[in-house]
Structure 1
Amino acid sequence: MKTHFDIEKIVERGVITNELDYERALIADRKLRLLAKDNIHFKNLRSNLRDIIQKYENSEWNDVDKIDDQKILESDKSERIAELERLFLENRKQIIRKKLKELELTQENLALILGHKSKTYMSELMNGIKPFTLRDLIVINRLLKIEIAVLIPVFLSKEDQTKVQEAVIKLGKPKVKLTSADLVLS
């Protein structure tokens, strides 16, 4: 089970289909800029991602007549969501690094414990380029004694929120509602 957006999935698909993925791709591009200096894999990934970003911008933002207030609101909302996700991932990374340091472990040691052989792959996980698996996060929780809520994003996508709300309405159970914490990324 994956816990968040996967940059490489977007690159594999070769297309960005919505504003939220576009904003996420822009953030990933900034992360990859730093990582690409030392690693050809990240350099190639960034190059491919930039091509996909350019295609999306050309199709969605080049025609001024297609840009209305609704599109701008969607863009602003997506930007806020992507930024909240970025902050979550950055916070998680810093907390994991701090715990590793306290235990005199390296990121490479953690990769070995999790069963990841590549230093690059571990870097992708830590930097949010690739998502940790649920298993990885449970091991980190138990090994490093980090609260699970710090490791696993507990917010729902707009699509998931809508589906859950529609199902609850269909059930006719007015006592059942999503909490405000679930709606952070609405």
Structure 2
Amino acid sequence: MKTQIDIEKLVESGIINSELDYERAMIADRKLRLLAKTSSHFRNLRIKLRDLIEDYEKRVWPNEEAVGQELIEQSDQAEIIAEKERVFLEKRKNIIQRKLKDFNLTQAELGLLLGHKSKTHMSELINGIKPFTLQDLVIINLLFKIDIDLLVPKYLPVEKLDKISATITALNKPKLNKARLQLCA
């Protein structure tokens, strides 16, 4: 389930392919701006990410006259989704950081508890540059008694919601129609 982008994997791929990944990259660029001040790893990652963003803008948004209404609507929808993800990740980060403080732990020590040895990797996880694994989030839930709903995103990508909705329609099961409404809420 891709509910969060892995910025390093995006940079490794060498291309941004969708408006949603573009919006996610723009948010990641802002996060990396702060992290780049303290780490050459993040500074280099940001430079590469900015190159991908610039390439995407040149390919997809070459000039204002060439942009159609459909692309503008895709962009608006992607911006809304990416912002919801950003807000969720920021809240989760703050909750985890408060618990670390309560338990007198550092991010590096949490990394050891999760089985991660790299301080940089732990920083990427906490800051939403890389996604936590489900196992990491379960461990955090069990250690700190944080409600799992505050750790695991409960939203799905639009493409997945569309596929589920189409399948419900094709199955023609009346009891599933109520479930479809809850998915799309």
TM-score normalised according to structure 2 size? 0.94
Residue correspondence of structure 1 range 147-166 to structure 2 within 5 A: 147-166=147-166
Residue 55 of structure 1: how far off its partner (Å): 0.5
Which residue does 1:43 correspond to in 2? 43
Q: Which runs of 5+ in 2 are unaligned?
A: none
- 8 Å CA contact 2:88–2:153 kept in 1: the answer is yes
Q: Could you say what the CA RMSD is over the residues aligned between the two structures, in angstroms?
A: 1.4
Residue 179 of structure 1: how far off its partner (Å): 4.3
Which residue does 2:146 correspond to in 1? 146
SS in 2 for 1:156: coil
- Quote the Cα distance in structure 2 between the aligned partners of 1:30 and 1:21: 14
SS in 2 for 1:80: helix
- Quote the Cα distance in structure 2 between the aligned partners of 1:85 and 1:130: 13
Residue 169 of structure 1: how far off its partner (Å): 1.3
- Quote the Cα distance in structure 2 between the aligned partners of 1:64 and 1:95: 41
Residue 71 of structure 1: how far off its partner (Å): 1.5
- Quote the Cα distance in structure 2 between the aligned partners of 1:37 and 1:51: 19
- Quote the Cα distance in structure 2 between the aligned partners of 1:173 and 1:119: 50
Which residue does 2:174 correspond to in 1? 174
Residue 69 of structure 1: how far off its partner (Å): 2.0
- Quote the Cα distance in structure 2 between the aligned partners of 1:167 and 1:127: 36
Which residue does 2:65 correspond to in 1? 65
- Quote the Cα distance in structure 2 between the aligned partners of 1:7 and 1:60: 20
TM-score normalised according to structure 1 size? 0.93
SS in 2 for 1:178: helix
- Quote the Cα distance in structure 2 between the aligned partners of 1:32 and 1:9: 15
Q: Which runs of 5+ in 1 are unaligned?
A: none
Residue 3 of structure 1: how far off its partner (Å): 5.5
| Per-residue CA distance 1:44-86 (angstroms, 9 max, x = gap) | 1101100000000001112333312222121111111111100
Q: Which runs of 4+ in 1 moved over 4 A?
A: none
Residues 179 and 100 of structure 1: CA distance in aligned 2, closer, same or farther (over 3 Å)? farther
Which residue does 2:184 correspond to in 1? 183
SS in 2 for 1:94: helix
The amino acid across from 1:165 in the alignment is: S
- 8 Å CA contact 2:3–2:155 kept in 1: the answer is no
Deviates most, 35-44 or 167-176:
167-176
